[in-house]
Structure formats: structure tokens, C-alpha cells
Structure 1
Amino acid sequence: MKKTILIICLLSLTYFEATARTEFVLEPSQSMIMTGKGVGQDATINPYYGQDSYGIVKNIGERPFSIRVQQAGTIIEEIPIQKGETKKVKLLKGYELYLNPNPNGVAKASVDYEKIIE
């Protein structure tokens, strides 16, 4: 019985580690780094940081916003996300993922990560 409970707990922990989904509220003047700078970043920890992965960002609010991918201060890509839209962005090793707010009001986002399997 104890082994069964221990196995269930371990499986649950593995599931939660593999799905680093988090929801965020973006104030009009607030740009947030999601992943890429380690300690002190604003939001999520990419469980696949240090290797190539996908960042999956969904607009769960009423206002559009944009995401930005950077590497060493250089913007790689900026992508607008409309209400209800989901974008899957390739995050190569060393890339940083940012959420850029809507200057006209509060936006809401959900962020998740996926390992690139080739």
C-alpha cells in the first residue's frame, strides 16, 4: 500500500514538472521576461532551459498583446497575439521569451513549454 501511494506521488510530481503552465496578468506598463535569465526573471521556469524547446503562449484575456524572442539583447522575433489565439514559438538554446503588454489595458496570458523532439 505504501509503495502504491509513493508511486502515485512520484508520478504526480513528474507530471507537474513537465507541464510548467502558468497564467499572468499584464499591466499596460509591464513587460515580463518569462524565461531565459534564470534567478530574478519575472515569471516561469522553462523546464527545458539550456536546450531547444517550444514556448506556447495563449491569450486568455480580452485584449491583444505581443511576445518577443530575444538573444543577448537582440530581438529575434516579435509576434502579436489576438484574443483567444495561441502561438507556439521555437526557443533555441540561449533565447529569452518576453510578454509585451497592451498599452490600452490589462492583458492576460497563459505560458507553457514543450520539449522539441526531433
Structure 2
Amino acid sequence: MKFEKLTLFIKSVFIAGLMLATTTTSAQKENKFKLDPSTNMLMTGKGPGQDGSINPFAGQDCVAVVENLAKAPFSVRIQKNGVVLRTIEIGTKETKRIELKGSEELYIDTQKKTTRFTINYQQTSKS
């Protein structure tokens, strides 16, 4: 009887670990993107079903960490209510931390080459 319980426990722990590893891998894949030349994509700011990436801090101030994985630069455009607030160039193989207010939208604008990048979000530390 004790052996059966131990076996069941080990199987449960193994399955839980496997599920956790799969979930982490899926979340990482969702934040890795490839965009064709001359493409614009909303990444965050309009809500579920409209955003290209998952921002766990949507609607709150946060930091977007954008990493250029490609050999060509691209631009990050920050907008609010259709007004461009700022444009940030992300150079080849460069990573930038971009502060976002909860009401701002973040777009990726590609130029003449295919772009590959990752985008992740971090909570803004409160002082």
C-alpha cells in the first residue's frame, strides 16, 4: 500500500513539473516575434484580442524590454489616443528598456528588412 502511494506521488510530481516546464516554454514563445519588412504591429495598449503580445501589467505603468534579434534596426513607437509621443530606434542586436504609462500603446515599426525581436514586460518599481 505504501509503495502504491509513493508511486502515485512521484508520478504527480513528475506531471506537475512537466506542465510547469511546458507553460514556461509557451509563454516565452509568445513574446518572440518575426515581422516582415514595412510592417507595423501593436504590441500592447489596446487590450486582449488586439495586442500582439501578452503584457501581464496591461493598464499599469510598466517597463517593456525589447531585444532586437535581427541584423537590421527597427523602431518602437509609443502612442496615446492616436498621438505619437515618442519614437525609439532599436539598433542591431540591441536591447532597450522602455517605460510605459498604463494608458500608452507600444507599436513595432519595421523598415526594409525582416525583423526578429523579443518583448517582455516588468513591473515598475515603486519608490
Instruction: Identify unmatched segments of 5+ residues in structure 1.
Output: none
Letter of the structure 1 residue corresponding to residue 103 of structure 2: G
Higher helix share: 2
Question: Aligned-pair distance for 1:9?
Answer: 7.3
- CA offsets per residue over residues 27-79 of structure 1, 9 Å max, x none? 11210000111133251021001211001101101111010111111111100
Q: TM-score, normalised by structure 2?
A: 0.76
Question: Aligned-pair distance for 1:17?
Answer: 9.7
Instruction: Identify unmatched segments of 5+ residues in structure 2.
Output: 1-9
- Equivalent residue runs for 1:54-93 within 5 Å: 54-93=63-102
Q: TM-score, normalised by structure 1?
A: 0.81
Question: Quick check: 79-88 or 21-30, which moved more?
Answer: 21-30
Q: Percent identity, aligned pairs only?
A: 35
Partner of 1:107: 115
Give the paired residue count: 117
Partner of 1:27: 36
Question: Aligned-pair distance for 1:94?
Answer: 0.7
